[in-house]
Structure 1
Amino acid sequence: MKKITIAIDGYSSTGKSTLAKQLAKYLGYVYVDTGAMYRAVTLFSMQNGYISSEYFDKETLINSIPNIKLHFEFNPQLGYAEMHLNDVNVEKEIRTIEVSNFVSIVAEVSQVRAKLVEQQKEMGKNKAIVMDGRDIATVVFPDAELKIFMTASPETRAQRRFDELQAKGDDVAYEAVLKNVQERDYIDTHRDDSPLVMDDDAIEIDNSYLTREEQFNAVLELVNDIINKTN
């Protein structure tokens, strides 16, 4: 069976990673969470004092890019790969609201994007990959056979993120999560370098009222249609 590239873009907390993991596991494809890569760079910036609520030392971060080593390591118990920063598993640390508050700012840095896009293109050179992020269909894999753009209302996405953080034991208010979602939407769609936009060839999925199973089945049907046409 012919292998394809599946590019999934969309707003924060739309369940891009959940869908991508489901597809990759079902198809036997490689899954890459590009958001985790940007989150890891953000965590690195926080750990080294390059960014806070008062300032952002962008130049020092740019100069430190050669010192940032990222790789995914498969966790057989979870069934997917986890993010490692300089050989340390940071999967839990990068999912906090603190990292979420800064990740869109760090992702605006052109030099950071250039470095990560280079790595992402290399990961997908042999196809059979599901990658999710903000610019996968428009920048990383403009020739992807299937492009999905995911969206949902800010309130729906904030509630999902709030429930997720609460389940992890994080003490956070819904209003703070909603504010973070709205701010990230603005930054992601207004940055100069690779803003979040729906590619002309992408299929939009508003999952505000879809279950995970309904969403997965709908996209899997699209995948099968493309694979059957290319065989």
Structure 2
Amino acid sequence: METGELSKAVVVAIDGPSGSGKSSVARGVARALGLAYLDTGAMYRAATWWCLHQDVPLTEVDEVAAQVEALPLVMGTDPAHPTVRVDGTDVGEAIRTTEISAAVSAVATNLAVRAELGRRQRAEIETARQTGSGIVAEGRDITTVVAPDADVRVLLTASEEARLARRAREVHGTDDAAAVEATRDQVLRRDADDSTVVEFHVAADGVVTVDSSDLDLEQTVQAVLDVVESVVGPRP
């Protein structure tokens, strides 16, 4: 896209490790720009919830892949109220439990699952582009695998200390030493597991890095908006 006034059909892709703030920042950017919002991490969580709900052992790679291929998933892309529905059931809260957080890597590292959900993610993004609504999509491999042709690609990163503290506040409501320690395995192990199938620590060519270690949410959203404006022009 040539620099000028920002088009409503713009696609913004935001990548990064656990606790970097991808979801909150992506929603803030989408609201500010009047774009749709796609949380691809929630799709992996929903797939995990579905397989467990179907009593499918997550170690059964082929069976998990078959379940995900038939997954009756509908993603609501309103950034003010994003929803995740599986077979008509709202699983928005259920997929954020510790049980799902501990299990999701087994599904997210299944290459057949990644291929299927990546296909669905590309379809969501293409629909947003074709209809002119535009979209902010966030997830671990959005900038490199799912949407390498996005108009704007951002790697959102933060120090390990900052990421652990954020996840502790999100899960436990506090970032004291005990809460941080309780989230350490969840954050660092999942990053280690997922890094075996996708790179999300180093920006690929054409991807702009935003370090949010010393920024609050509002400042980080503004930093990403500044990147968007520098690439595709100001908001109309």
Q: Map of 1:22-171 to 2, 5 A cutoff?
A: 22-51=28-57, 56-73=59-76, 79-125=80-126, 126-127=128-129, 128-167=134-173
Aligned length in residues = 220
Residue 221 (str. 1) matches residue 226 (str. 2): yes
SS of 2:161 mapped into structure 1? helix
* Long gaps (5+) in structure 1: none
Distance in 2 of aligned mates of 1:74 and 1:111:
24
Contact 1:154 1:181 in 2 (8 A): no
Q: Deviations over 1:99-149 (max 9, x none)?
A: 111212211111111111111111111431100001111011111121111
Contact 1:6 1:147 in 2 (8 A): yes
Distance in 1 of aligned mates of 2:103 and 2:157:
21
Distance in 2 of aligned mates of 1:69 and 1:150:
30
Residue 18 (str. 1) matches residue 24 (str. 2): yes
Residue 180 (str. 1) matches residue 183 (str. 2): no
Match of 2:217 in 1: 212
Which deviates more from structure 2 when the two are superposed, residues 220-229 or residues 127-136?
220-229
SS of 1:84 mapped into structure 2? strand
TM-score normalised by length of structure 2: 0.85
Distance in 2 of aligned mates of 1:35 and 1:185:
13
SS of 2:27 mapped into structure 1? helix
Distance in 2 of aligned mates of 1:221 and 1:66:
38
Distance in 1 of aligned mates of 2:181 and 2:21:
20
Match of 1:190 in 2: 196
Q: Percent identity?
A: 34
Distance in 1 of aligned mates of 2:205 and 2:156:
14
Deviation of 1:79 (Å): 1.5
TM-score normalised by length of structure 1: 0.87
Distance in 2 of aligned mates of 1:61 and 1:98:
17
Match of 1:200 in 2: 205
Distance in 2 of aligned mates of 1:108 and 1:116:
12
- List structure 1 runs of 4+ shifted beyond 6 angstroms: none
* Long gaps (5+) in structure 2: 1-5
Deviation of 1:49 (Å): 2.8
SS of 1:208 mapped into structure 2? coil
Distance in 2 of aligned mates of 1:66 and 1:211:
38
Contact 1:40 1:85 in 2 (8 A): yes
Deviation of 1:167 (Å): 3.6
Deviation of 1:8 (Å): 0.2
